[in-house]
């Protein structure tokens, strides 16, 4: 089997430009509302040039989702089984909040896919994501059994952390409108630390 030639610097730059433009367009309009023409315009490339690198908008979308899923799991992977229970959970909350601040477009892309029924990532959700959440739910159960945190449903605890952190990315327009453009993240971090400490501290 013949190996494909390595990409040139220009090819890598153009692919990166297309993916960045795709992220902008998909996070704003969703998969169904986006077109190759919109992505090409955002990338500053002609449509034929874009199609040289990616044969369809779905190919761009799938590449973005593939890299995003791995990034999305990293904060939960970092939950240290051997660490102190409450600090570990609060650190997880902070990592998820940092992702909402630093990767808002990625968060909206992921949310959009889920709202469509996750047709392109259902296997990953039922596979890698479920396996990891099951594993960390078991860690939380051990912490509860050892009296390190109050008794809560581990899965719903994780769901609530997702909801309360990703809100700041997925609904950033609403948050900014209510706060008058004030940076929401310092206040959010303080509030969520108070909330989860009150909920979980024995």
Residue 120 CA: distances (Å) to CA of 11, 12, 115, 127, 171: 26, 25, 12, 13, 23
Q: Is pLDDT above 70 for 105?
A: yes
User: Domain holding 151: CATH number?
Assistant: 1.10.357.10
34-61 pLDDT, tens digit each: 999 999 999 999 999 999 999 999 999 9
User: Domain holding 44: CATH number?
Assistant: 1.10.10.60
- CB-side exposure of 157: number of CA atoms within 13 Å? 26
Q: Is pLDDT above 90 for 146?
A: yes
Place of tokens 């989860």: 196
Residues, the chain = 202
Give, for 113, the enclosing helix (H) or strand (E): helix 104-115
Regarding whether 42 and 125 lie in a shared domain, the answer is no
* Domain extent for 164: 64-200
Question: Phi and psi at residue 35, in whole multiples of 5°?
Answer: -130, 160
What average pLDDT score do residues 59-71 get?
89
pLDDT for res 2:
45
For 145, the 3-state DSSP assignment is helix
Regarding whether 119 and 158 lie in a shared domain, the answer is yes
Regarding whether 74 and 16 lie in a shared domain, the answer is no
* Domain-embedded: residue 2: no
């Amino acid at each position: 089997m013949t190996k494909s030639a390595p990409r040139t610097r220009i090819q890598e730059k153009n692919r990166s430009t297309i993916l960045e433009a795709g992220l902008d367009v998909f996070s704003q309009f969703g998969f169904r509302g986006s077109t190759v023409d919109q992505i090409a315009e955002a990338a500053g490339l002609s449509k034929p040039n874009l199609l040289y690198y990616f044969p369809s908008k779905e190919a761009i979308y799938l590449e973005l989702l593939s890299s995003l899923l791995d990034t999305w799991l990293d904060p939960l992977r970092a939950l240290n089984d051997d660490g102190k229970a409450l600090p570990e959970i609060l650190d997880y909350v902070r990592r998820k909040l940092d992702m909402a601040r630093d990767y808002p477009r990625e968060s909206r892309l992921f949310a959009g896919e889920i709202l469509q029924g996750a047709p392109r990532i259902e296997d990953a959700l039922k596979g890698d994501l479920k396996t990891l959440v099951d594993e960390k739910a078991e860690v939380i159960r051990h912490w509860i059994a050892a009296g390190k945190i109050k008794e809560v449903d581990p899965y719903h605890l994780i769901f609530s952390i997702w909801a309360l952190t990703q809100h700041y990315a997925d609904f950033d327009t609403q948050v900014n409108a209510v706060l008058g453009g004030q940076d929401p993240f310092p206040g959010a971090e303080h509030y969520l630390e108070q909330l989860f400490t009150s909920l979980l501290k024995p």
